[in-house]
Amino acid sequence: MRHHSFQFVAGVYDCAMGRNKTKRNKFWRPKGRPISPQARLEMESLLKNETPQRELLIEFLHLIQDQYGCLRKAHLLALAEWMNLAPVEVYEVATFYHHFDVLEDDEQNPATLTVRVCDSISCMLAGAEKLIEELENSSLPDRVRIQRVPCVGRCDTAPVAVVGQQPVSCASPQRIEQVIEEKQHSCPDLPAALETYIKEGGYDFYRACLAGEHSTEDIIQTLADANLRGLGGAGFPVGRKWQILSQQSKPRWIAVNIDEGEPGTFKDRHELEQQPHALLEGLLIAAWAIESTQCVLYVRDEYPAILASLKTEIEALREWAEFPLPELQIRRGAGAYICGEESAMLESIEGKRGLPRQRPPYIAEQGLYGLPTLEHNAETLMWVPEILRNGVDWYQSYGAHGRSGLRRYSLSGRVNNPGVYLAPAGTTVRELIEDYAGGMLEGHEFYGYLPGGASGGILPATLGDEPLDFDTLQKHGCFIGSAAVIVFSRHDRARDIALNAMQFFAHESCGQCTPCRVGTVRASEIMQQAVWPGEELETLCCVMEDASICGLGQAAPNPLRCVVKYFSHEVSDA
């Protein structure tokens, strides 16, 4: 029932029936759960400086959990009343996102500290299962919760644990216990970056745009000639996307996707830790080019340092800039891989569950709040000022094996030096291993790799000389996606890696469509059998691929099919 409606509805009913309110049955109570006066006071105190906007629901849930360490039902009811929402609208959002700890019993005490341990592919290869077992059997303080989580975007330092908000690289029980004892639970601060960026010529091109030295048409054509494509996974041409948006009705929005949740991907985090203003200038140029005055950055909740840094740097930019800026908003994700899908991200920004939308219409036509929306990931926008400053010839002078341009590869797994490597587009995985990562780990022989994270498929070492770029791997049943390259050796089994990926998809499915919701779970069950029934699995793959609403369900069969095709000796009875 809506805010302040209990008394109103009762009063209307009494007047209509000609009754005196004071003679109401003493046992009468409004329907639904009663709202705790204490919870109401706590919400009023916590949110006293906020306005009850529907799109800020997730932000308010974060405020409550940050304050109280959990979400109690009493607080959710009080929040619903304050926001003039039905309790179900608040509850369905709170329970959708993994990072919200909704207590079933308000008398239950929440964990005083949560230790999240990543169990996705790179961390699995580095011993995450053993780490989790040791932690569960260790003598950690009472009410310290050990929680398995999917990729946290730090695959280069696997296995990874996060104590509170403090990441622990190359984690061991001893290192985690030390962080707990020293009470180092907050995220690290990143250094100020604006002054350095300005000294290197930062924002000069944007100011030249404002001064009329460049035209929108020339900039869009430059990006098209450079063949810059979206680097979050889909690879849609940037120039073409800007051209489409510039033809839509006004007002127009820009949404920046900093929710890189694909297992094996960490390049956006790495680059934003180095220089967030490369992203911000690219965003400002995009806003100028498509005449947008509203921009929102959706930041992964696993990146608290990036979140804090962006807030600080945007405020510093506002104070320094003597030129107009569009409105720059920041939204905090809540642990949902599905929100990497562009329309699901927009739903989350609007304060809803991250359910992908049916298309058409596409978000370029009806996106955020029903308005035309340009969506890009962080790395894509970082390349915009770089290409515009240096020119098309500079960018296309790079490239390998018939490809052109540059790419940042997130490289992890059984290599000596995992990390983010800037390399010519079309570089092969064998070249990444030998020329950039210092070779395979001692005692490990190259056996296979994932070229595009969990959803990009799995290829054998015999295909290690294929160029890694858009449109080069489809013939093998794979794609490069966000260029999350995970290398494994003969110490590993491709079937175990594919199972890990499928279990990840099952965990992260939004549940909106049956092919994905049921298909990923059923595939995970079948893939645990010693021998895989090929015909049954292929039928399941076809259903998921053809009938799923979004890319999660459509791409989930890729690793499974690759194992059957390239590593059949691991799953057959031959």
Q: How confident is the model at residue 139 (pLDDT cuts 50, 70, 90)?
A: confident
The whole-angstrom separation of Cα 23 and Cα 137 is: 62
Mean pLDDT value of segment 14-23: 42
**Distance from C-alpha of 485 to C-alpha of 505, rounded to nearest angstrom:** 18
| pTM of structure | 0.93
Around Cβ 296, how many Cβ atoms within 10 Å?
19
CA 16 to chain centre: 53
- The pLDDT confidence band at residue 574, using thresholds 50, 70 and 90, is low
Asked whether 367 and 255 are in contact (CB, 8 A), the reply is yes
- Judged by DSSP in three states, 306 sits in helix
pLDDT band at 6 (very low <50, low <70, confident <90, very high): very low
> In the chain, count of helices (H) and strands (E)?
24, 13
Residue 485 pLDDT > 90: yes
Instruction: Using alpha carbons, list the distances in angstroms from residue 235 to 112, 227, 239, 302, 456.
Output: 43, 10, 12, 24, 13
Whole-number Cα distances in Å, 180 to 173, 184, 188: 11, 7, 15
Q: What is the pLDDT of residues 71-119, one digit of tens each?
A: 999 999 999 999 999 999 999 999 999 999 999 888 888 999 999 999 9
List beta partners, residue 446: 489
Q: Is the pLDDT of residue 3 over 70?
A: no
Output the CA angle 261-268-180, nearest 5 degrees: 70
Identify the burial level of 250 via C-beta atoms within 10 angstroms of its C-beta, where 0-12 means exposed, 13-18 middle and 19 or more buried: exposed
Amino acid, single-letter form, for residue 285: I
Report the alpha-carbon distance of residue 77 to residue 104 in Å, rounded: 13
CB 524 within 8 A of CB 502: yes
Element (H, E) at 299: strand 294-299
Q: Quick one: pLDDT at residue 94?
A: 98
Q: Does pLDDT of 461 surpass 60?
A: yes
Asked if residue 22 has pLDDT above 80, the reply is: no
pLDDT for 26 beyond 70 = no
3-state secondary structure of 44: helix
Residue type, 137: N
Residue 433, SS3 per DSSP: helix
Q: What distance in Å separates the CA atoms of residue 257 and residue 198, rounded to the nearest whole number?
A: 24
Q: What is the pLDDT of residue 105?
A: 85
Closest alpha carbon to 358 in 502, 119, 548, 150: 548
Find, among 283, 320, 379, 332, the residue nearest to 192 by Cα. 320
Strand blocks (E) in 390-518: 406-413, 419-424, 446-450, 459-460, 484-489
Report the run of H or E that residue 454 belongs to, with start and end: none
Are 99 and 109 in contact by the 8 Å Cβ rule? The answer is: no
Q: What are phi and psi of 563, to 5 degrees?
A: -65, -45
Does residue 476 come out as left (phi exceeding 0), alpha (psi in the -120 to 50 range) or beta?
alpha
Determine the residue type at 265.
T
CA dist 87 and 40 (Å) reads: 14
* Cα 204 to Cα 202: distance, rounded to the nearest angstrom: 5
Mean of pLDDT values over 511-525: 97
Contact between 420 and 408 (Cβ < 8 Å): yes
Provide the pLDDT for residue 142. 84
Work out the number of other CB atoms within 10 angstroms of the CB of residue 146.
18
Residues 418, 212: Cα–Cα separation, whole Å? 44
Q: Rounded to the nearest 5°, which phi and psi values hold at 245?
A: -65, -35
| DSSP-H helix ranges across 121-203 | 121-125, 128-136, 173-181, 194-199
Q: Are strands 373-377 and 406-413 parallel, antiparallel or unpaired?
A: unpaired
pLDDT given for residue 25 in this prediction: 52
Which residues are 484's β-sheet partners? 410
pLDDT higher than threshold 80 for residue 15: no
Instruction: Give the pair of three-digit tokens for residue 316.
Output: 């510093």
pLDDT of residue 143: 87
| pLDDT per residue as tens digits for the range 99-110 | 999 998 888 889
Domains, the chain, in order of start with CATH, read: 5-96 (no CATH), 113-181 (3.40.30.10), 194-390 (3.40.50.11540), 406-492 (3.10.20.600), 495-570 (1.20.1440.230)
Query: In the predicted model, what is the mean pLDDT of residues 352-377?
Result: 97
Instruction: Give the single-character DSSP code of 70.
Output: S
Report the range of poorest mean pLDDT among 49-58, 160-169, 177-186.
Answer: 177-186
Measured distance CA(537)–CA(568) in Å, rounded = 13
Nearest to 276 by CA among 316, 218, 241: 316
DSSP one-letter string for 237-277: BHHHHHHHHHTSPSS-EEEEEE---STT--HHHHHHHH-HH
**Mean pLDDT, residues 526-541 taken together:** 96
Q: Residue 325: what pLDDT?
A: 95
Cα–Cα distance measured from residue 12 to residue 91, given in angstroms and rounded to the nearest whole number:
29
Strand, coil or helix: 5: helix
Between CA 384 and CA 373 the distance in angstroms is 18
- In SS3 terms, 345-363 reads as HHHHHCCCCCCCCCCCCCC
Q: Three-state secondary structure along 104-116?
A: CCCCCCCCCEEEE
